[in-house]
Amino acid sequence: MSNQNKSSGVQMVRVDGDRAGQRLDNFLSARLKGVPRSAIYRMIRTGQVRINGGRCKAASRLHEGDEVRIPPAQTRARGEHVVSDAVCRQIEKAVIYEDEDVLVVDKPSGMAVHSGSGLPWGLIDGVRKLRPDEYVELVHRLDRETSGCLVLARNGAALNHISALFRGGDVDKRYLCLMNGVLPEAVTEVNAPLLKKQRGGQAEVEVNEQGKPALTRFTLLQSFGGCCYAEAELLTGRTHQIRAHAKHIDHPLAGDDRYSDKESVRAWRKRGLNRLFLHAHRLAFLSRSGEALSIEAPLPAKLRAVLDGLGA
């Protein structure tokens, strides 16, 4: 339900039960079709968007009955937000699981999950183009460089349920990664708080006592000369957590142009790795009905080829 002040263009929108639990930025993106993500973040940051009259953050979770103040916003230029048919076909082929509540996509590396930071579209826009009459919302996020399992909700109840599982640490999240150097033990836990900062217009994360608690468990799968293949289990869900923790223990991920040095990135490119070696290969959680779901995305062929080359 919404009321609009015609003289100012401001909307006062009351959150219904279907949208309860949703992040504010995703809520606004769904309502302000064609408005750049960067513009939405700017409106939130400058206090133009309010929840129940108070300032808020992009990650603020909405509750049923909340009143959201939405200022007038300028849409994109015609055609800027269009997702090509080729990209839509790529996304359609990447769907690996679907039921009445969720859609799981094996997200390609290099594809952002949503628009923003100069990107006119994201995977969510492609899914909405493929399914124009359906409710589809992101439950969580993956870095643009990371491939693998990405969960989208197909109704408000599913969004609330699975978002709560992610927030409560009740989703088993496993990633496959290639690390510089060899882990000293079969299992290495990194329990170090992470603080997000903006550097050169990009978000970067560092271990810092002022940061949020973060715990990652690395399990050694295979050792090679000067590197190792491992599974990373996320026991918390912080931005760039695996990448920052890998750097912290002096085993930065192969191909990571943000958390490892340029010489390392160049060396991996010579070995055929032109992307970050990080793949979300498994998610497991309980559905709304209590059914145990376990969804896996196989390691991409290009990453498998790199491993095969190391073992040759």
Please identify every residue annotated as catalytic: 143
d(CA 58, CA 38): 11
Residues 6+ apart with CB under 8 A from 291: none
Angle separating helix axes 24-31 and 37-45, nearest 10 degrees: 130
- The answer to whether residues 83 and 126 touch, using CB atoms and an 8 Å cutoff, is yes
Amino acid code (one letter) for 34:
G
Half-sphere exposure of residue 139, counting CA atoms within 13 Å on the CB side? 27
Tell which residue, 251, 275, 276, 255, has the closest CA to residue 265.
255
For residue 136, give both structure tokens.
Answer: 């589809």
If you count them, how many residues does the chain have? 312
- The answer to whether residues 212 and 193 touch, using CB atoms and an 8 Å cutoff, is yes
Task: List Cα–Cα distances, 13 to 50, 52, 73, 101, 303, in angstroms.
Answer: 10, 10, 15, 25, 46
- The answer to whether residues 273 and 255 touch, using CB atoms and an 8 Å cutoff, is yes
- The answer to whether residues 279 and 297 touch, using CB atoms and an 8 Å cutoff, is yes
Tell which residue, 184, 201, 280, has the closest CA to residue 241.
280
